[in-house]
Structure 1
């Protein structure tokens, strides 16, 4: 489908790049959230090898469109719409990489948290400043942030609205890498290309096992892993990988993505 507030580009190597394009601040309006959900569905229907989510050089995404906020009735609509779009993105059967340059605040931070891996430029700034408006995060921030940085740090960030710069984000685990602004997309594309050469079906199975296991007990999570372990041996790539290892040693398999 055609998008007005974002672009979705598929590279020949199987990497897809979703770039927000809603004005200078990439406000997460209802219309943009709907397009993110639609793009995620497009990617679900035809899965890429990896996805990169990016925004502007100085503002990744500055948060929700405040003018659309009202009272509880509006919140009952806005919250579920954001959750649905971000959950669909998070559930993609491949690594979803956030390439964050500039401000990722409120919904922008929550969008980055819905991704599996965050590469931040040196000018990146993360934050959940909703409390400064007298409200709280409603796009997954209270839950995903706590799972990434721990409950104490998540409470401190959400209850004060304090913004976190790139180096601190790296230190607390909110960012996984910090690179120069000039090399941000190159690094994201490099990681995406590396994944595209791998056993992509197995990558998706592994991601699903990790995500599902985090939402349950250790015992249940270990059973999820065992089921996934059996499942992955049914892929063509597993046969290729094992055969290649026995004949040529590790790291030389040429996978086919099946």
Structure 2
């Protein structure tokens, strides 16, 4: 569960959307996934149109994660999952906020019975179940649910002014969408405990040092870098990339022995694919592999 602090929301007035990157995105094309989006801006980009780009678009609330936004995000992720052209996905926000938290007004009057019976926040896990690799490009605030959303992604790139935190304790509750679990696995018990119990934030540099993010970039170069990484991932076999993602997640979620068994099983399975044969043949023949995602 995420938290949109009142002070942050008060500063949201006039927040601009993410400005265009310094160079035009190659081949940007609007993405259709059913009804128009109210809270998202969605495109396909990259030289081969192989990257799905999702921008959270609720600037008046610093991209606070309301039910409508999360429903739209789930819907577009399902569409990109089934799109054979998309090989990787980038989720980003604005320069001021990736997402400053959940919509507190939506949850303020909820009861235990409503949360328990309705499986409150259960649908948020969609991001973590997508088979295609997802990169979070985080500028500005990634607090509460915003931090949790970033951690559901496979790779986190951060702008140098990004801030990460789980401030739910300040509102008399705890993280409810993975904040106490994924954060602890990413940065270790001591730092996770400090962040969860105090509500304090960490900077992009501190997040990189702790292992929460992979790389830190100047604000204006962040999105380009995330798209470039996504394009590189998408140029490989989409089938094998999904298998590799499953194996890495096993290391994150299971014991070493179980993870090793999973790795071996998936490694053997790659030998049933055309792309494994093509990749090794291309290496021996000293040419570029032509993967067919089969």
1:223-256: CA deviation from partner (whole Å, max 9, x where unpaired): 111110121112221111110111117xx32323
Aligned with 1:114 (options 130, 140, 152): 152
CA distance in 1, matches of 2:242, 2:158: 23
Match of 1:256 in 2: 292
Aligned with 1:4 (options 32, 38, 44): 38
Q: Is the 1:33–1:82 contact (alpha carbons within 8 Å) kept by the matching residues of 2?
A: no
- Which one has the bigger helix percentage? 1
Match of 2:71 in 1: 34
Unaligned runs of 5+ in 1: none
Q: Is the 1:43–1:92 contact (alpha carbons within 8 Å) kept by the matching residues of 2?
A: no
**Compared CA separation, residues 151 and 227, structure 1 to 2 (3 A):** same
Aligned with 1:241 (options 257, 263, 279): 279
Secondary structure of the equivalent of 1:248?
Answer: coil
Q: Map 1:108-187; keep pairs closer than 5 Å.
A: 108-187=146-225
After TM superposition, give the deviation of residue 21 of structure 1 in Å.
0.7
**Compared CA separation, residues 83 and 154, structure 1 to 2 (3 A):** farther
After TM superposition, give the deviation of residue 212 of structure 1 in Å.
2.8
Unaligned runs of 5+ in 2: 1-33
TM-score computed with the length of structure 1 as normaliser: 0.92
Q: Is the 1:28–1:107 contact (alpha carbons within 8 Å) kept by the matching residues of 2?
A: yes
Aligned length: 254
Aligned with 2:237 (options 199, 203, 222): 199
Question: Bigger CA drift: 193-202 or 119-128?
Answer: 193-202
Aligned-residue CA RMSD (Å):
1.7
Matched, 1:72 2:112: yes
Aligned with 1:13 (options 34, 42, 49): 49
CA distance in 2, matches of 1:60, 1:9: 17
**Compared CA separation, residues 30 and 164, structure 1 to 2 (3 A):** same
**Compared CA separation, residues 194 and 59, structure 1 to 2 (3 A):** same
After TM superposition, give the deviation of residue 203 of structure 1 in Å.
1.1
CA distance in 1, matches of 2:83, 2:121: 22
Q: Is the 1:13–1:196 contact (alpha carbons within 8 Å) kept by the matching residues of 2?
A: no
Aligned with 1:232 (options 246, 252, 270): 270
TM-score computed with the length of structure 2 as normaliser: 0.82
Q: Is the 2:114–2:120 contact (alpha carbons within 8 Å) kept by the matching residues of 1?
A: no
After TM superposition, give the deviation of residue 74 of structure 1 in Å.
4.2
